[in-house]
Amino acid sequence: MCQAVRAVDPGGWDNRTFRLGADLLVRLPSRARYVAQVAKEQRWLPVLAPLLPLPIPSPIAMGKPAEGYPWPWSVYRWLDGERATSRNVVEVETFARDLAGFLRALYRIDATEGPPAGEHNFFRGGPVATYDDEVRDAIAALAEGIDAAAAEAVWEDALASAWEGPGVWVHGDVTADNVLVREGRLAAVIDFGSSGVGDPACDLTIAWTFLDGAGREAFLRAVAMDDATWVRARGWALWKALILIRHEADAPNAWRDARRVLDEVLGDQGPRNR
């Protein structure tokens, strides 16, 4: 029997996403640079899922290029929930602690055979210095409209440290769009295309991109990372904000959100001052 196919809104950037009937989801890479994520998710998500406290995408099939579409693609089980917003998260501190618990569980999983940070995940989990030129160019281009000196200080602090332990599994793109909420609580974590093994600092940017105040404090305490990791995480958040401010001038909502994130990053003096 044929299953109804309909686009999911929002459908994503790295992939085009479609609902297949009531229980399935289809994800197709939108560009060649995202194709490596397909085999990675097919290989590793079934390994990670049983070891995590919340549902993650469950691949059940991999499609082949056909009908003019040139790349492999995936079919997943559908996960119910809405992407997190300030309206549907009932208790922000509970949400923050639950997300931190999920990440701590992810970081405990044996990562010795996992894929190290690299081009497949845009170096999430790698050193923040990967984006040094991009950040410095953005600060120079935006200097008249931002506190360039403060941004440079945050970035220099981030560059000054490195993850000293063994690499851990990282999600790579922990954003409000990639966590699902149901009945006010965190219900699932999706989109592991940027996953890999390395420094967990890249996963903590949600402390500034979505959380603030008591929610950020609860997340900081529950995820229990050292100060240097938080400093690098703030550098990752700065990078995200700067590139969006620079390149999303024609998208007012994205631009305003990026400006808010930049203000949060520059206004947060870090865990050592708490």
Domain boundaries, the chain: 5-77, 82-273
Residue 97 has, within 13 A of its CA and on its CB side, a CA count of: 6
Instruction: Tell me what the mean pLDDT of segment 93-103 comes to.
Output: 98
Residue 203 has pLDDT above 70, yes or no: yes
pLDDT at 272: 47
The answer, as to whether pTM is greater than 0.85, is yes
Q: What is the pLDDT of residue 8?
A: 81
Going by the DSSP 8-state scheme, the letter that residue 112 receives in this structure is T
Compute the average pLDDT of residues 188-212. Answer: 97
Q: For residue 274, what pLDDT is reported?
A: 45
Mean pLDDT over each residue of the chain, to the nearest integer: 94
pLDDT-derived band of residue 11, with 50, 70 and 90 as boundaries?
Answer: low
Structure tokens at 181: 């909420």
Checking if the pLDDT of 196 tops 90, the result is: yes
Output the six-digit token pair for 240.
Answer: 């995200």
What pLDDT is stored for residue 7 in this prediction? 83
Q: 7 vs 108, which has greater pLDDT? A: 108
What letter does residue 65 receive in the DSSP assignment?
Answer: -
Give the CATH number of domain 82-273; options: 3.90.1200.10, 3.40.50.970, 1.10.1420.10, 3.40.630.30. 3.90.1200.10
Query: What local confidence, expressed as pLDDT, does residue 220 receive?
Result: 94
63-72, 97-106, 115-124, 261-270: segment of lowest average pLDDT: 261-270
Rounded to whole angstroms, the Cα distance separating 110 from 88 reads 34
Assigned CATH topology for domain 5-77: Phosphorylase Kinase; domain 1 (3.30.200)
> What pLDDT, on the 0 to 100 scale, is given for residue 263?
96
**Neighbour tally for 222: CB within 10 Å:** 16
Least-confidence region, from 1-10, 28-37, 59-68, 165-174:
1-10
Q: CB within 8 A of 212, min separation 6: which ones?
A: 264
Residue 106 near residue 45 (C-beta atoms within 8 A)? no
Quick count: other Cβ atoms within 10 Å of Cβ 214? Answer: 11
